[in-house]
């Protein structure tokens, strides 16, 4: 009797979660529609040859998430023997919840919905390591890009040459590796002693995360970040902001680094990115319109579109569990 009641309770909780996710998804879509300059979007569509930029950005969307799944699969292999197909499904499920939560904080929660409860610690830890790998891309690619594009602005404000700052990113990466892993293992020991949480399997898995494995995951993170920046570059061209290739990509990477480094309330990211774009490229109304439209469209392409099949996978997983 109790088992039947628990099953019925889980069913209603899942229904409530489904309604909440769909409502949040609809709200995100409505907010996105309000922020997008539809006049500029329509004008861009009518320009000869502009369609190719939008088409290429759309084609790169599955490449972007495939690289994310590959990166996570490499890290997850230290904890769980998942196939890549299952990792891919869990990645899409994470997108479905991240689309409905501020700053995409629900991504790990979506992955957990596809995993079994005993697998949760491995999923959480490997996802956390994946976030760390994102900083590999930021420090190796975005930091030099920021130093290059913001050279003129920094030169006016710094009492020393900007070139002195170029090695800071790689140095922080080296310090983070040599100091971060021992600190993480100590944190697990503290959790086990303080809250009686079993961390033996996690500690064992972390010890398997050698520098070679993190390097492979870091390469995938850098490739994914390059694809992501290229998508935004294409969308900026689509909306009429014709930036030079390397300088434009460097500026985009720098914007993401600054935005990721500063904690912001939900909804402020697009405003901040637009302001940084105006600062780096050109303080004009046309630049503001193109920058805001491109960032907004990128969210729709890379998050809202893959969120739909991801939500389907979450529902299918739930129904499969209910049938058991």
pLDDT digits (tens, 9 = 90+) for 8-61: 555 555 556 555 555 654 554 565 556 556 666 667 667 777 889 999 999 999
- Among 98-102, 241-245, 309-313, 315-319, the range with the most confident prediction by mean pLDDT is 241-245
- What pLDDT is attached to residue 300? 84
- What pLDDT is attached to residue 251? 92
Residue 103 pLDDT exceeds 70: no
- pLDDT, mean of residues 193-221: 81
CB contact at 8 A, 271 and 26:
no
- pLDDT, mean of residues 267-278: 67
Question: How far is residue 240's CA from residue 248's CA, in Å, rounded to a whole number?
Answer: 13
- Among 4-8, 110-114, 136-140, 298-302, the range with the most confident prediction by mean pLDDT is 136-140
Residue 322 pLDDT exceeds 50: no
Residue 64 pLDDT exceeds 70: yes
Nearest to 304 by CA among 33, 14, 12, 5: 33
CB contact at 8 A, 180 and 263:
no
Burial class (CB in 10 A: 0-12, 13-18, 19+), 297: buried
CB contact at 8 A, 142 and 257:
yes
- What pLDDT is attached to residue 26? 56
> Helices in 138-199 by DSSP H: which ranges?
143-149, 151-157, 168-195
- pLDDT, mean of residues 264-292: 69
Residue 291 pLDDT exceeds 90: no
Average pLDDT, the chain: 79
Residue 208 pLDDT exceeds 60: yes
Question: How far is residue 116's CA from residue 109's CA, in Å, rounded to a whole number?
Answer: 12
Confidence class of residue 1 from pLDDT cuts 50, 70 and 90?
very low
- What pLDDT is attached to residue 244? 93
Chain-centroid distance of CA 260 in Å reads 10
């Amino acid at each position: 009797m109790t088992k039947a009641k628990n099953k019925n309770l889980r069913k209603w909780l899942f229904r409530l979660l489904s309604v909440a996710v769909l409502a949040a998804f609809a709200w995100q879509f409505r907010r996105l529609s309000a922020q997008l300059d539809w006049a500029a979007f329509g004008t861009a569509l009518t320009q000869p040859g502009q369609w190719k930029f939008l088409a290429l950005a759309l084609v790169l969307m599955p490449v972007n998430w495939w690289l994310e799944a590959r990166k996570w699969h490499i890290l997850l292999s230290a904890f769980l023997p998942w196939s890549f197909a299952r990792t891919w499904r869990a990645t899409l499920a994470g997108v479905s919840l991240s689309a409905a939560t501020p700053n995409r904080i629900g991504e790990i929660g979506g992955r957990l919905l596809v995993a079994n409860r005993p697998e949760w610690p491995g999923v959480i830890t490997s996802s956390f390591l994946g976030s760390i790998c994102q900083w590999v891309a930021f420090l190796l690619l975005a930091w030099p890009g920021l130093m290059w594009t913001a050279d003129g602005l920094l030169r006016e404000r710094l009492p020393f040459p900007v070139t002195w700052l170029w090695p800071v990113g790689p140095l922080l990466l080296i310090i983070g590796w040599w100091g971060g892993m021992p600190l993480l293992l100590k944190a697990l020991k503290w959790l086990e002693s303080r809250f009686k949480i079993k961390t033996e399997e996690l500690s064992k898995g972390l010890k398997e995360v050698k520098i070679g494995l993190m390097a492979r995951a870091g390469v995938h993170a850098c490739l994914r970040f390059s694809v992501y920046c290229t998508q935004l570059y294409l969308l900026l061209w689509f909306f009429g902001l014709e930036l030079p290739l390397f300088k434009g990509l460097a500026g985009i990477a720098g914007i993401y680094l600054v935005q990721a480094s500063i904690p912001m309330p939900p909804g402020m990211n697009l405003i901040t990115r637009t302001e940084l774009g105006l600062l780096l490229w050109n303080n004009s109304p046309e630049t503001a319109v193109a920058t805001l439209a491109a960032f907004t469209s990128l969210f729709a392409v890379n998050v809202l579109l893959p969120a739909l099949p991801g939500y389907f996978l979450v529902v299918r997983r739930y129904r499969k569990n209910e049938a058991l």
